[in-house]
Amino acid sequence: MEESNSSSEKGFLLLGFSDQPQLERILFVIILLFYILNLLGNTAIILVSYLDPKLHTPMYFFLSNLSCVDICFTTSVAPQLLVTMNKKDKNMSYGGCVAQLYVATGLGSSECILLAVMAYDRYAAVCRPLHYITIVHPQLCASLASTAWLSGLITSLIQCSLTVQLPLCGHRKLDHIFCEVPVLIKLACVDTTFNEVELFVASVIFLIVPVSLILVSYGFITRAVLRIKSTAGRSKAFGTCSSHLLVVIIFYGTIIFMYLQPAKSSSKNQGKFVSLFYTIVTPLLNPIIYTLRNKDVKGAMRTLVMGNAFSS
């Protein structure tokens, strides 16, 4: 009993990249830079979408929600990771690990659903343009966004509650970059078949199902776009959806690799880099992709900056 409780009393050793000090120093600078840019970029999208009346549309409502999720998701991982990388003992309190587990799991799950919702919005905009306003009305937008947030909360409560009940028998070394369900399950000293099955079911619901719906949506979108005779109209329609599709491919590709691969199919460092990518890198790609490839957002930002400059 004393050995089982040692993890909750002493916390965990979050090893990260401590076995490669030079790489850890380089990654510290990169993660810090990416985190700052993530905060600035996603906050800018939220402000612009709120302040510019031209962007008060379903697409930018969902984009603002995505930016909010990305800010919170990265913040649940990056600050703790930076603190741990910058000290020698690598210790993380048990309470801090559990809190991070619940928050990161919930926000990651919410983003999975939100990206599928955005695909439905693009489907309605391209395939049903004449009825778009009546289909994707404000009440539906609020309901879909609320569903994304609540589904993340529910799956986090279920998955994480089951995970933290597993006895660890004194195992304190987390050879990872943050507290994540698959990593904690591997630390358990009892049969984890039930937890692994539950994790697989949750992964199917929050990864495979949304990806399937997104692919179906873009199948209809592609068919509709190919019917457009005008080259300019076709290019505009593809441009409307390409940004979202790029975010989807990058996010789902890395997270599916982490959650649906066999437990012993990749090295530990590979898993760390993959987790680093979808928690730190991907959230930054959202503002970069949507600002560099979107004339409306660039124009709104330019107007906002110019307006503030003249007012001061």
- pTM (2 decimals)? 0.87
Classify residue 225: in a domain, yes or no: yes
Per-residue model confidence as pLDDT tens digits over 177-221 = 899 998 888 888 888 889 989 999 999 999 999 999 999 998 898
Classify residue 38: in a domain, yes or no: yes
pLDDT at 308: 60
Classify residue 212: in a domain, yes or no: yes
Classify residue 262: in a domain, yes or no: yes
Domain membership of residue 269 as a residue range: 12-301
Ranking 137-146, 246-255, 275-284 by mean pLDDT, the lowest is 246-255
Classify residue 309: in a domain, yes or no: no
Per-residue model confidence as pLDDT tens digits over 275-301 = 888 899 888 887 887 766 667 777 777
3: confidence class by pLDDT, cuts 50, 70, 90: very low
Classify residue 288: in a domain, yes or no: yes
Classify residue 275: in a domain, yes or no: yes
Q: How far apart are CA 233 and CA 171, in angstroms?
A: 59
Cβ neighbours around 202 below 10 Å, total = 18
266: helix, strand or coil: coil
Secondary structure letter of residue 12 according to DSSP: E
- The Cα-based distances of 198 to 123, 193, 259 in angstroms read 32, 9, 12
pLDDT at 289: 78
Classify residue 6: in a domain, yes or no: no
Q: How far apart are CA 100 and CA 141, in angstroms?
A: 29
CATH code for the domain of 229: 1.20.1070.10
90: confidence class by pLDDT, cuts 50, 70, 90: confident
Report whether pLDDT(70) > 90: yes
Total tally of structural domains belonging to the chain = 1
Residue-wise burial string across 252-277, b where 16 or more C-beta atoms lie within 10 A, e elsewhere: bebbbbbbeeeeeeeeeeebbbbbbb
Report whether pLDDT(1) > 50: no
Per-residue model confidence as pLDDT tens digits over 27-67 = 999 999 999 999 999 998 898 888 888 888 998 999 999 99
